[in-house]
């Protein structure tokens, strides 16, 4: 039996390219996570017969939104992508004809178009700056948006699952267009402080945990100022304040996950849900924090692009007998992928407990990248008898 391999794609990689599905199947790919709701990007499409570059100008959905779901005053609403309209459904059908399962790859709390149009829904840092790319999940409107979007993508026909990115806190870190933010390197603790939100909803949340919001905001600024001034390398809050922040952030993220998972289950109770996640409960970004003990009702997806002990530790943290667990590896040299190490890295992730390996991103991949994926897949097949990779996928 072929081991469990998957790939990431944009819908425009498949739509209009009748050879795409067969090409994936020939590499040993059993399923594809296809973007159904995604943020802005400029993407190369090296093998597409009709275009070579697609520019997604803003966050959008690649199907026709159901207006009944989004009715009501004050609601955040997605927009359909005019540069690739309704391509998700056509991509799903094309891949199914080639025997490749499709998961709806859905980005939730990262949407700069919504943050620009609805600044009150975006993260507000301790200095009063808005992060329009980062929707604040303490906002009831944002939580409703995320749950509705997850349910709507789950309702698209022909799916075998949904894969949710940024189902939790988003923050400062972001590969934004023409980023000019590398002048000061922020270490982990400072990045977290610079990502804390002080919108009215978050201020209420801090107060509920016993932290006076304006005093906390001042402490955060006092802690960050020396980092920006270059007089200290890293920084932290006092233990009492840090504990209050942690309680508020973990509680709010859990509330979002529950509402999103419940919305998907109501729409499609049989549909597996994959969550991009990291074991640190205070983690934020595309793979937000999800403590291993809380990884119930969903399949964790660990970002493990290239060899790193932290990635192996994350896989081991989530791994458990009978648990389905995916790891995302980089298969594009131009995006930092280590093609020479790809077969060994895939085997090591599987040995650590990953039941699936997902290649990022085969729509962007060069001919050499695809050859490395083929080698990695063949190597994994050879290792099936050693037990490094499963021959069957768990259902959930």
Q: Is 247 inside any structural domain?
A: no
Which residues, other chains included, contact 363 with Cβ-Cβ below 8 Å and sequence gap of 6+? 8, 9, 10, 12, 13, 14, 43, 45
Secondary structure of 305-366 in the HEC alphabet? CCCCHHHHHHHHHHCCCCCCCEEEEECCHHHCCCCCCHHHHHHHHHHHCCCEEEEECCCCCC
State how far the Cα of 37 lies from the Cα of 300, in Å rounded to an integer.
19
pLDDT at 182: 64
Domain harbouring 40, CATH code: 3.20.20.80
Task: Please check the confidence at residue 153 and state whether its pLDDT lies above 90.
Answer: yes
| Cut 0.95: pTM above it | no
Q: What is the dihedral of CA 336, 343, 6, 13, to 10 degrees?
A: 50
Report the domain count for the chain. 1
Of 115, 126, 90, nearest to 214 by C-alpha is 126
Q: Is 26 inside any structural domain?
A: yes
pLDDT at 296: 85
pLDDT at 273: 97
Q: Is 197 inside any structural domain?
A: no
Task: Please check the confidence at residue 242 and state whether its pLDDT lies above 70.
Answer: yes
Can you tell me which residue has the tokens 């990262």? Answer: 110
Mean pLDDT calculated for residue range 326-335: 94
State how far the Cα of 87 lies from the Cα of 105, in Å rounded to an integer.
13
Task: Please check the confidence at residue 109 and state whether its pLDDT lies above 80.
Answer: yes
pLDDT at 382: 72
38 DSSP β-pair partners: 60
Task: Please check the confidence at residue 344 and state whether its pLDDT lies above 70.
Answer: yes
Task: Please check the confidence at residue 233 and state whether its pLDDT lies above 90.
Answer: no
40-54 pLDDT per residue, tens: 999 999 999 999 999
Q: What is the dihedral of CA 34, 39, 44, 49, to 10 degrees?
A: 50
Q: How confident is the model at residue 220 (pLDDT cuts 50, 70, 90)?
A: very high
Task: Please check the confidence at residue 393 and state whether its pLDDT lies above 70.
Answer: no
Q: Does residue 17 sit in helix, strand or coil?
A: coil
Task: Please check the confidence at residue 229 and state whether its pLDDT lies above 50.
Answer: yes
Q: How confident is the model at residue 1 (pLDDT cuts 50, 70, 90)?
A: very low
Task: Please check the confidence at residue 79 and state whether its pLDDT lies above 50.
Answer: yes
pLDDT at 356: 93
Q: Is 39 inside any structural domain?
A: yes
Q: Is 252 inside any structural domain?
A: no
pLDDT at 185: 79
Task: Please check the confidence at residue 123 and state whether its pLDDT lies above 60.
Answer: yes
Q: Is 193 inside any structural domain?
A: no
Alpha-carbon dihedral sign for residues 169, 174, 180, 183: positive
Can you tell me which residue has the tokens 């979007």? Answer: 149
Q: How confident is the model at residue 394 (pLDDT cuts 50, 70, 90)?
A: very low
Looking at per-residue pLDDT, the higher value among 296 and 97 belongs to: 97
Domain, as residue range, for 117? 5-183+259-386
161-177 pLDDT per residue, tens: 999 999 999 999 876 66
128-144 pLDDT per residue, tens: 999 999 999 999 999 99
Instruction: Name the CA radius of gyration of the chain, rounded.
Output: 21
Angle between helices 213-229 and 239-267 (to 10 degrees): 110
Task: Please check the confidence at residue 180 and state whether its pLDDT lies above 80.
Answer: no
State how far the Cα of 79 lies from the Cα of 65, in Å rounded to an integer.
8
Can you tell me which residue has the tokens 């458990």? Answer: 320
Q: What is the residue-averaged pLDDT of the chain? A: 92
Q: Is 76 inside any structural domain?
A: yes
247-294 pLDDT per residue, tens: 999 999 999 999 999 999 999 999 999 999 999 999 999 999 999 999
Task: Please check the confidence at residue 179 and state whether its pLDDT lies above 80.
Answer: no
Q: Is 157 inside any structural domain?
A: yes
User: b/e for 83-114, b at 16 or more Cβ within 10 A?
Assistant: ebeebbbbbbebbbebebbbbbbbbbbbbbbb
pLDDT at 144: 97
Q: How confident is the model at residue 231 (pLDDT cuts 50, 70, 90)?
A: confident
Task: Please check the confidence at residue 245 and state whether its pLDDT lies above 60.
Answer: yes
CB pairs under 8 A, 24+ apart, for 70-73? 70/148
Task: Please check the confidence at residue 191 and state whether its pLDDT lies above 70.
Answer: yes
Alpha carbon 156 to chain centroid distance?
Answer: 19
């Amino acid at each position: 039996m072929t081991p469990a391999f998957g790939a990431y794609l944009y819908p425009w990689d498949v739509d209009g390219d009748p050879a795409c599905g067969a090409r994936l199947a020939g590499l040993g790919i059993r399923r594809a996570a296809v973007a159904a709701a995604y943020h802005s990007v400029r993407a190369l499409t090296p093998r597409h017969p009709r275009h070579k570059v697609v520019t997604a100008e803003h966050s959008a959905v690649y199907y026709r939104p159901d207006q009944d779901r989004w009715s009501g005053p004050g609601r955040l609403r997605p927009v359909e992508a005019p540069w690739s309209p309704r391509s998700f459904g056509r991509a799903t059908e094309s891949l199914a004809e080639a025997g490749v399962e499709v998961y709806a790859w859905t980005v939730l709390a990262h949407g700069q178009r919504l943050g620009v149009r609805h600044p009150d829904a975006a993260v507000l840092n301790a200095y009063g700056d808005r992060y329009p790319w980062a929707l604040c999940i303490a906002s009831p409107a944002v939580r409703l948006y995320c749950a509705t979007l997850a349910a709507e993508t789950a309702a698209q026909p022909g799916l075998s699952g949904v894969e949710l990115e940024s189902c939790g806190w988003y923050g400062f870190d972001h590969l934004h267009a023409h980023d000019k933010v590398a002048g000061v390197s922020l270490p982990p603790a400072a990045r977290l402080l610079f990502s804390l939100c002080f919108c009215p909803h978050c201020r209420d949340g801090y107060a509920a945990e016993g932290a006076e919001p304006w005093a906390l905001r001042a402490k955060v600024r006092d802690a960050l100022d020396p980092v920006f001034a270059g007089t200290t390398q890293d920084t932290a809050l006092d233990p009492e304040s840090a504990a209050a922040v942690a309680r508020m952030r973990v509680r709010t993220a859990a509330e979002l996950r529950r509402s999103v998972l419940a919305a998907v289950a109501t729409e499609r109770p049989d549909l597996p849900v994959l969550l991009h996640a990291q074991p640190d409960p205070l983690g934020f970004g595309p793979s937000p924090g999800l403590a291993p003990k809380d990884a119930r009702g969903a399949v964790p997806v660990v970002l493990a692009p290239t060899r790193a002990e932290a990635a192996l530790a994350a896989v081991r943290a989530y791994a458990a007998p009978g648990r389905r667990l995916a790891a995302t590896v980089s298969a594009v040299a131009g995006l930092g992928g280590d093609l020479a190490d790809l077969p060994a890295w895939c085997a090591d992730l599987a040995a650590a407990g990953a039941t699936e390996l997902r290649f990022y991103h085969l729509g962007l991949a060069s001919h050499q990248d695809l050859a490395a994926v083929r080698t990695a897949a063949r190597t994994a097949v050879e290792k099936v008898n050693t037990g490094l990779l499963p021959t069957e996928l768990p259902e959930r």
